[in-house]
Amino acid sequence: MAVKTIEELCGGVLERRAEAAAGGGEKAVAKHKAKGRLTARERIAQLMDEGSFVELDEFIEHRCTNFGMEKKKYLGDGVVTGYGTVNGRIVYVFSQDFTVLGGSLGEMHAQKICKVMDLALRNGCPIVGINDSGGARIQEAVDALNGYGEIFYRNTLSSGVIPQMSVILGPTAGGAVYSPALTDYIFMVDKISVMHITGPAVIKAVTGEDVTSEELGGATAHNTKSGNAHFFAKTEQECFEQVRSVLSYLPSNNMDDPVFVETSDPIDRADVSLREIVPTNPNRGYDVHKVIQAIVDDGKFLEVQSMWAKNIIIGYARFGGQSVGIVANQAGVMAGCLDIDCSDKASRFIRHCDAFNIPIVTLVDVPGYLPGKTQEWNGIIRHGAKLLYAYSEATVPLITVVLRKAYGGAYLGMCSKSLGADCVLAWPQAQIAVMGAEGAANIIFRKEIEAAEDQQAMRAQKISEYEDAFATPYQAASHGMVDKVILPEETRCEVIKALAAHKTKRQALPRKKHGVIPH
Ligand code: HXC
């Protein structure tokens, strides 16, 4: 046997690397790119810091021999996996290659994904999954299904331990959508991403409904209707910028704190425009984004689920360099009422922040839970309860600012003192009461109003009496449920001070396996 030279052996490595990098071959790559999509490796390059990606398992092949599969082998088996850095920190990644057997998931393809999931969990690093796949590899039958099971199991074990991001950049069908659904966030790109359990053909056959794939499960559908997606981008490039940006607010794992980002924005910056943004008339709407932008570092706010359940706003910002999660009622949409969708949206975000040691700043202006048959029959009781549950079990610093209305159960639901708020601040126009003055006066002064000669004048007088007594922050402040009544322009400085004071907060919950959250 001729002994090979080192040059020949090294050449063999390079040849194999080139073969792996070619994916499904020139024709398949050209077809893929003609659809306006990046390749699996180009996507990783968009995500990672330049030159930082280290590929693993690039020579893996499937072991299937069904239906002539032994002739359809590709180095890497349709998924590129490895690690690199994002904003200088290690992040694990897998990126499915649609040019190889439609990115379909078989035994070895799944094994590669599971390996990076295990490494990410063991090393306490985030993982980003880039999904572009026809789903379970049909030829591999139960081995493919088993592969999905292995992934779901790991998604669940990693939940709340390391950040998990799912980027959908192609078709994701059947049970394949459940791995993304088990992760922290789903990112979708307009006209490129699709997710559904059953596609248009099955729907037509079973229910007779006509719907296109895009209408059913495109980025718009999941960002505006189902609430399954958290971020919408116009291009793949924009999508990866979003992923990088989200990761910048998060720690690498649940034992770390988020990264501190130096800011030149003065801690004591007093923005007097805040006096005008929130009208003192409780019946007038406004955009709470303006309040957020006026108080956070450099006006920078990264909104999550900005297109769904817009009556509540959630997202990340920084105060004095420290990452926080913001939950704010949006008085400009449905008067900021709490309903089913916004309770789901906010409670999940609160649990995410709590899992990853991110303090929560809650901005309150809420008239109550949305009344109506639809809400009641669809379970506003159990959905609304999630908000109470999420705040009550959260042990991160909780800072609440009551901007205006805080009525009834919704006052409690928006992180009241009794639910665990560490610091409650209230603006001068705050009204912390069981309900609004008009409704309250109509109930408790009904007899006096009915007996009066001029009922309208009597009603106005009673409303005014109630307003003076209860539609203020002072009763709550006098009972210790508000720690401090502040001027609107003092908000930034007071929130930063409160966050600093609670930085060392340590709170232990009663020992239990886990709670039973209402669903
Ligand atoms: C094996 C597959 C495949 C699959 C696609 N391919 N999906 N191979 N298993 N699941 C192959 C095709 O045969 C084709 O191979 C190549 O990938 C590209 O596919 P095209 O159909 O040419 O591409 P396109 O027209 O863009 O359509 C993409 C698609 C379609 C919408 C994804 O391929 C499709 O509907 N695939 C099947 C989807 C599906 O039903 N999957 C199973 C879901 S159930 P060639 O050699 O011709 O290039 C599931 C269960 C998971 O996933 C359960 C977990 C609990």
ipTM rounded to 2 decimals: 0.97
In a domain, 257, yes or no: no
Give yes or no for residue 350 CB within 6 A of ligand 1: no
Average pLDDT across the chain, whole number: 96
Q: Kindly tell me if the per-residue pLDDT of 305 is higher than 80.
A: yes
Q: 329 and 215, same structural domain? A: no
Q: Which residues contact 19 (CB under 8 A, 6 or more apart)?
A: 75
* pLDDT over 90 at 470, yes or no: no
23 classed as catalytic? no
Q: Are 440 and 470 in contact (CB under 8 A)?
A: yes
Say whether 88 is catalytic. no
Helix/strand/coil for 67: helix
- Residue 106 appears among annotated catalytic residues: no
Average pLDDT score over residue span 173-186: 92
* Domain shared by 96 and 242, yes or no: yes
Tokens of 215: 């209408």
Q: Given the residues 173, 390, 394, 410, select the one marked as catalytic.
A: 410
CB atoms within 10 A of CB 178: 16
**pLDDT at residue 1 tops 90:** no
Q: What is the DSSP string of 345-363?
A: HHHHHHHHHHHTT--EEEE
CA 497 vs. chain centroid, Å, equals 27
Count of C-beta atoms within a 10 Å radius of residue 513: 4
- 169 and 285 share one domain: no
For 455-468, letters b (16+ CB in 10 Å) and e give eeebbebbbeebbe
Q: 519 versus 251: which is more confidently predicted?
A: 251
Contact 401, 361 (CB under 8 A): yes
Ligand 1 atom nearest the C-alpha of 103 is 17
- Same domain for 420 and 440: no
- 93 in a domain, yes or no? yes
Length of the chain (residues): 519
User: Which of the residues 124, 174, 321, 408 is marked catalytic?
Assistant: 174
Atom in ligand 1 nearest the alpha carbon of residue 136:
52
Atom of ligand 1 nearest to the CA of 194: 31
> Coil, strand, or helix at residue 314?
strand
pLDDT surpasses 90 at 174: no
For residue 21, count other CB atoms closer than 10 A to its CB: 15
Q: How confident is the model at residue 414 (pLDDT cuts 50, 70, 90)?
A: very high
For the Cβ of 171 lying below 6 angstroms from any atom of ligand 1, the answer is yes
Residue 283 has pLDDT above 80, yes or no: yes
Based on the domain organization, do 150 and 62 belong to the same domain? yes
Residue among 409, 420, 439, 500 flagged as catalytic: 409
Residue 175: pLDDT above 80? no
Q: 208 and 175 share a domain? A: yes
Residue 95 Cβ inside 6 Å of ligand 1? The answer reads: no
Cβ of 182 closer than 6 Å to ligand 1, yes or no, is no
Kindly state whether residues 350 and 463 are assigned to the same domain.
Answer: no
Same domain assignment for residues 92 and 216:
yes
330: in domain: yes
Angstrom CA distances, 338 to 370, 406, 411, 440, stand at: 6, 12, 10, 20
The tens digit of pLDDT for each residue in 78-105 reads 999 999 999 999 999 999 999 999 999 9
Can 175 be counted among the known catalytic residues? yes
In a domain, 47, yes or no: yes
- Whether 104 is in the pocket of ligand 1, judged by its Cβ within 6 Å, is yes
* pLDDT for the residue numbered 441: 87
Q: Which domain holds residue 223?
A: 18-247
Residues 459 and 479 occupy one common structural domain: no
Indicate the DSSP class of residue 135: S
State how many domains the chain has. 3
The answer as to whether 115 is a domain residue is yes
Q: Is residue 508 part of a domain?
A: no
At 468 the pLDDT is 87
Burial of 174: CB neighbours in 10 Å, binned 0-12, 13-18, 19+:
middle
One domain, residues 240 and 335: no
Helix/strand/coil (H, E, C) string of 156-222?
Answer: HHHCCCCCEEEEECCEEEHHHHHHHHCCCEEEEECCCCEEECCCHHHHHHHHCCCCCHHHHHEHHHH
Determine whether the shortest distance from the Cβ of 136 to ligand 1 is under 6 A. yes
Q: Among candidates 297, 300, 301, which has minimal Cα distance to 269? A: 297
Residue 497's H or E segment, with its range, is helix 491-501
How large is the angle between the packed helices 380-393 and 340-355, nearest 10 degrees?
A: 20
Residue 255 lies in a domain: no
* Residue 394, amino acid: A
* pLDDT of amino acid 438: 86
What is the per-residue pLDDT for 176? Answer: 85
Residues 325 and 214 in one domain: no
Q: Are 388 and 439 members of one domain?
A: no
The answer to the question of residue 258 being in a domain is no
CATH of the domain at 51: 3.90.226.10
Is the pLDDT assigned to residue 436 strictly greater than 90? no
